[in-house]
């Protein structure tokens, strides 16, 4: 008797499993083809290499916004150990060194999140002039070296009150060595 109960339950389970295979197969093997095309544009910002010249150990950097929306920009100058790079006296007052980056700011403050200078589409920054001092390390004296410029941009965001702010965790970047 006990054996018949187990056999009945097993048979019922097999029937249910068999009955559900066909709909499951239909679900996983169904396909539909669509015709036509739609272009989707994400509006990503583009960083082209910055205008970058060196004359009399002064590196002049200008950044252009060639993207689709307004951005904030910042620049980092990376030099070999023993080479000092600092903001030149005749650089634009909109550039300010905060931490490791030179930020393009709208006011003389270190609040880089809330006081960035908005760089509109097809605009170029005022020049950032960096004074490069001769290497002090013996191994670099008389040697050629590069000061690498890393530019970064982030989309202009807005607070609920309409004021702009920058979120540098959402940055895009580009690197140029000359």
| The model scores a pTM over 0.85 | no
Q: CA 103, 96, 98, 116: dihedral to nearest 10 degrees?
A: -40
pLDDT mean over 62-89: 87
Is the pLDDT reported for residue 35 higher than 70? no
Is the pLDDT reported for residue 176 higher than 50? no
β-pair partners for 76? 150
Q: Output the pLDDT for position 45.
A: 55
Domain ranges of the chain: 1-31, 51-177
Tens-digit pLDDT profile for residues 136-157: 767 777 778 888 888 888 888 8
Phi-psi region for residue 122, left (φ > 0), alpha (ψ -120 to 50) or beta? left
* Among candidate residues 126, 100, 117, 95, the one with its CA nearest the CA of residue 165: 117
Is the pLDDT reported for residue 100 higher than 70? yes
Q: Residue 101 — pLDDT band, cuts 50, 70, 90?
A: very high
Q: Output the pLDDT for position 92.
A: 79
Copy the structure tokens of residue 149: 């410029």
Instruction: Provide CB contacts within 8 A for 98, sequence distance 6+.
Output: 110, 112
- Which helix (H) or strand (E) segment holds residue 6: the answer is helix 2-29
Higher pLDDT, 49 or 166: 166
Residue % of the chain over a pLDDT of 70: 81
Centre a 10 Å sphere on the Cβ of residue 113 and count the other Cβ atoms it contains.
Answer: 14
Q: Residue 177 — pLDDT band, cuts 50, 70, 90?
A: very low
Copy the structure tokens of residue 141: 């004296």
Q: Which fold has domain 51-177?
A: Immunoglobulin-like (2.60.40)
């Amino acid at each position: 008797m006990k054996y018949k109960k187990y056999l009945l339950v097993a048979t019922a389970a097999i029937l249910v499993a068999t009955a559900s295979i066909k709909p499951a197969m239909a679900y996983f093997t169904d396909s539909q083809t669509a015709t036509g095309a739609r272009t989707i544009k994400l509006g990503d910002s583009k960083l082209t290499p910055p205008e970058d010249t060196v004359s009399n150990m002064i590196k002049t950097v200008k950044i252009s916004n060639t993207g689709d929306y307004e951005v904030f920009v910042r620049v980092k100058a990376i030099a070999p150990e023993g080479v000092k790079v600092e903001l030149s006296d005749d650089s634009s007052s909109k550039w300010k060194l905060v931490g490791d980056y030179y930020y393009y700011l709208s006011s003389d403050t270190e609040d880089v999140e809330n006081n960035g200078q908005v760089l509109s589409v097809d605009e170029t920054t005022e020049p950032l002039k960096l004074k490069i001092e001769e290497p002090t390390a013996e191994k670099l004296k008389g040697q050629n070296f590069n000061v690498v410029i890393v530019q970064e941009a982030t989309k202009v965001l807005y607070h609920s009150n309409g004021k702009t702010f920058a979120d540098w965790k959402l940055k895009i970047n580009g690197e140029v060595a000359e």
